[in-house]
Each structure stands twice: as structure tokens, then as C-alpha cells.
Structure 1
Amino acid sequence: MKIVAVFLLSAHLLFAMEYYSKLEPYDSFVVKSAVSGKILFTNEEVEGKYLNKKTKIIEIDNNVDKIELAQTKNKLKVLDSMLNIQEKNYNRLYKISSKSAFEKDNQKIQVLNLESTKSDLIINIANLEDTIKNKILWEDKIYIYNISVKKGDYVTPGTLLYESKDLSKAKLEIYIPISDYASISNKTIYLDGKKSDLKVDKIYEVADSKHISSYKVEIIVPNPKTFSRLVKIEFK
């Protein structure tokens, strides 16, 4: 009888691997400012909530950028007119045989300089439009975990604005001995003692500096009901 009990215990240790992990959101995002400016609005009401529709989270002052954008577009219109005139002048000079090559080259240089300035203005307009867009931040279908700035704050590129999390699915991370990782692919995963149809999503086949003899394993859990709870994971 003792022999049978010892055998059963040994078989359990051999064929079942047990781990514990906290059920975490599938992905987390740290949103930092790409621009400088004063915070005009923070949507503190959505902090700690899941968003079911497109919602404004933060707005940074963009009035100066809008004025500069309008002025730059006006400059581009004026420059286009100047460029059109100079191109006509060059085409006219080019056909006059009495005009020297020096005069023709000077006129061509004026055209090229205006074209270069036009290219710079187009780039400037694109940068301003991108800056204006980046000063109003919207989110949808995401959980707003934390908002780190308040109305009146001044931010610069790299300032932490808010953190969000993807709750569409969850992730379990465990570390298994390197000697065991090859055998888990053909085993069934049990969560809290219940059989599941889950599979290992990723195995990181390089040990990190902390878990020098283990590989990190990720298991994706679809449609989780709760997060941040401890889950028992078994491979049988």
C-alpha cells in the first residue's frame, strides 16, 4: 500500500507542473507628450474607467501653432505666385539669344532658391499639423489607468501624460525550468484546477538576469472577468 502511495505521489510530481501568476491586462501603454505646451484640459472623470467610445483625454494649448500654421500657408501662397513669375521670367530670358549665360544662370538660381524655400514651407506646414494633432489626445476601447497631469501644468516632450491598459484579454506570465520547457507543449493547461483549452502563446528561450535557469512563458486568457488575481496554473 505504501509502495502504491509513493508511486502515485511520484507520478503526480513527474507529470503535473504547478505555478502561480497574477492575471494581468494583455498590454499596458505609457503615453508621453510629443510636444510642449500648457495643459488646457484633462478628463479626470475617465480615470479608472473603461472607454466604450472615442473620448478626449487631454488637450494641450495649440493656439500659437494654429496661428503659425495659417501664416505659413499664406506665405506658401505668396511664394507660389513669386515662383510662377520667376519661372516665366526665366523661360523668357532663355529664349532671348542676346542675354548672356550669366544672366540666365542668375535667373535660374532665383527659381531654384524659391523652390527650396517652398519645400521648407511644406515641411513646416506638415510639422505644424502634426504638432496640432498631437496636442489633443483621444482614446477608445481602452482602460484609463492613470492621468499624470492636471489643467494648468506645462509639459515638454517626454512628459508622462497618462497610462492605459488593454482589457480585451489577459496575460499570465510564469517562469519554468529550462529542462521542463520542451515538455509543456503537449500538456493540458489547468487554471485553478479547471481544465482549459488554452495554449502557451510565447516561450522566451533566453533566460534573463534574474531567472537565470528558467524561461519566461506567456499564456493568453480571452475575455477575462477580473484582473490582478492570483491564478494557479498546472500542466498535466
Structure 2
Amino acid sequence: MTITGFVTYRQVDDYDVAVSNRLRPTAAVAVDLVVLTIEQNRLVVLAVRRGVEPFRGRRALPGGFVLDDEDLLQAAARELQEETGVRSSDVHLEQLATYGAPDRDPRGRVVTTAYLALTPTLTDPVAGSDAAAVELLTVSDVLAQPDALAFDHHRILTDGVERARNKLEYTPLAAAFCAAEFTIAELRRVYETVWGTTLDPRNFHRKVTTTPGFVEPSGSTTTRDGGRPARLYVRGDARTLHPAMLRPRG
């Protein structure tokens, strides 16, 4: 029986099966995490020492394969806690980008979705799962060495750091690096550390305290910066900054 011209139903069925087989997914799905914090006025990234092949013994970003019964965010939270002992509830976590180069993983086609995690502190991260060790590395040192990380994690880290730098311009995300209450000087040091620059303290104070919804006084003061008591602030309710905190160029 024909449907149009000389093409039979059987031919159409065979074609559909062939196309279906050719388009059948052959890639594994994974997640990776760029976990950034600030230590001693240095922007640092959380890395693991791989305990299994491929790249056994090499440094890498924490991450792993997505299980059948979880979505991407659940997988990112699980891998973060399994490999480093860090809970997702203790960090700011947002999706960064998806990476799917055919040769990015020697085991076969692996498509990974990377997440950016920012936290005020990382207290005694603990290696687990297939991570042999966990380390905090200075971001500038890692970015200066294209082969410092396994897989394509140097590119992922580069993208994550640039995302953080950009978002500090137009969102209050810098507060994610601070404790619940912080001084304006502490917030300024976040900007200086992430951007790798020096900012004028008076201009910064004026911009931050006059930008609607950026910060709000907590009603408390502290002397931890030295000198006179400094007013403590908390993050405001703004989602974006108007005007933006533009990064110095050049």
C-alpha cells in the first residue's frame, strides 16, 4: 500500500526507526561546581584531588554524574556535600553554563552543567566520595596555569570568576561573600578582592549607602576593623543595583 508516489508505510517505518536510533541520546549528564570564597584578602576556589581515573591525583572542580532520580540542582547540592562536606544551604548557588565538547571527558561524551557557589567562609571542608583530598587554591594562581585543573575545568573556572565579577556590578551579590552583618569596609574589600583593584573608600561608601535596597543598617556596631566603632549593615531587598557599581576598566 502506498501513501505518496512510491513510498510505502513500511519504508516510512524503517526510516523512523533509523532516525530514532541515530538520535538516541548517547551522552552522560554531569554537574560541576565553581565554589568561591575569600581568605586573607585572596579570592580562592575549592578544588578536589581526584581519587579515581581519569586524571587520578589531579586537581579538579568538585562534581559528578547526575543520578536517574534527581534534577541538576539536586545533583549539584549532593556532589558538593559528598565531595567536600559543604552544604548547599550554606552557599549562594546559581547555574553558570553548560559544557558539551565531544572530547571534554576521555570516558566518552559527557555534558556537564556548571554551578557557581559563593560563600563567606569554608570551614574545614572534608573530602569524600571519589575525592581523595580537598584544597583551597588562589584563583589567580590557578587561572595563570591552563593545565592546573583536569578536564575543561580551567575554562569553567574562568567563566565562573568572570560571572562573579560581572554580577558584582549590577546585583548585591557581593554580600554573599560577607557574614550576615558586615561593615562597608568589609564589603569594599570583597569588591577589591574579586575585581583585583583598589577602590576609593569614601566614594564606595557613598555609592553603597545611597543605592536603594543595596544595604540596610542593622542597628549594631563593631570595632573589628580597628579604630572607632563602625556601623554594621545587612543585605537589602534589591535584586539589581540602580545605579550599577561599575568595575574600573584598565
Give the TM-score of the pair, scaled to structure 1: 0.25
Q: If each structure's strand is expressed as a fraction of its own residues, which one has the higher value?
A: 1
Give the TM-score of the pair, scaled to structure 2: 0.24
Higher RCO structure, 1 or 2 (CA under 8 Å, sep 6+)? 1
Structure whose alpha-carbon radius of gyration is higher: 1
